[in-house]
């Protein structure tokens, strides 16, 4: 079947529209004017976002009922309003000027698996790190609780590797907050060039090795989730 450019995406699997809506709701809650980039091709649609509280890229993918060619950046809030859960579909709003992160996306292929980790273990590690941040922040004298000190503390914690893997804890933190760490299937860790990825059945979190938090696109969050 020949792929066509469309203003509406129809998913092939039940629950995909609801999952997309939940993902977009989180993004908009953290950043009212959040943008997402949609890429569709080969019968699959991917929605990329950079959650405001995290220095990662988040991705939700879904199979399409019909092949579509699409590559557009849109407002997350407008996309959320066009989700049709009962019809397993979503309309595509008008394009917006994309943020800088939208121009540098991870590769579609070439991913190699290097580890599998139980999702509950990943969630437990992320929750423990959030607790550590809160405890250490509360112990700081009032005069030291400025943005610079808290940013430094956050970077120290979220830059640590997840166990013996190469994946930084900020990826586990984001996956936990985005609701990706559910079900019984393990989280799969993959790499492609400088990119590292944590993938579950509910979405992926991607980070680029060597990229410093607080660069283009915003600063590291000091608010635990």
For the chain, which residues make up each domain, given as ranges? 8-103, 112-208
Query: What is d(CA 121, CA 115) in angstroms, rounded to the nearest whole number?
Result: 13
Task: Give residue 212's pLDDT.
Answer: 53
Residue owning tokens 């970077």: 155
Task: Give residue 65's pLDDT.
Answer: 95
Under-50 pLDDT residues of the chain? 1-2, 213-225
Task: Give residue 220's pLDDT.
Answer: 33
- What six digits make up the tokens of 155? 């970077």
This prediction has a pTM of 0.87
Task: Give residue 165's pLDDT.
Answer: 92
Cα radius of gyration rounded to whole Å, the chain: 18
Task: Give residue 211's pLDDT.
Answer: 63
Task: Give residue 209's pLDDT.
Answer: 84
Q: Classify domain 8-103 by CATH number.
A: 3.10.150
Query: What is d(CA 128, CA 64) in angstroms, rounded to the nearest whole number?
Result: 38
Task: Give residue 4's pLDDT.
Answer: 53
Strand partners, 198: 189, 205
């Amino acid at each position: 079947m020949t792929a066509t450019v469309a203003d509406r995406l129809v998913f092939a699997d039940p629950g995909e529209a609801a999952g997309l809506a939940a993902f977009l709701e989180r993004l908009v809650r953290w950043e009212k004017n959040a943008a997402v980039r949609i890429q569709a091709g080969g019968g699959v649609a991917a929605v990329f976002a950079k959650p405001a509280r995290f220095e990662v890229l988040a991705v939700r993918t879904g199979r399409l009922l019909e092949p579509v060619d699409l590559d557009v950046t849109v407002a997350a809030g407008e996309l959320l309003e066009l989700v049709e859960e009962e019809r397993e579909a979503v309309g595509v709003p008008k394009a917006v000027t994309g943020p800088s992160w939208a121009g540098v996306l991870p590769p579609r292929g070439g991913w190699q698996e290097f580890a599998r980790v139980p999702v509950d273990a990943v969630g437990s590690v992320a929750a423990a790190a959030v607790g550590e941040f809160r405890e250490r922040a509360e112990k700081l004298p009032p005069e030291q609780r400025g943005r610079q000190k808290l940013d430094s503390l956050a970077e120290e914690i979220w830059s640590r590797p997840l166990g013996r893997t190469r994946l930084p804890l900020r990826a586990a933190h984001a996956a936990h907050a985005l609701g990706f760490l559910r079900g019984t299937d393990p989280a799969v860790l993959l790499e492609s060039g400088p990119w590292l990825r944590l993938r579950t059945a509910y979405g992926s979190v991607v980070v680029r090795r060597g990229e410093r938090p607080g660069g283009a696109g915003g600063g590291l969050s000091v608010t635990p989730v």
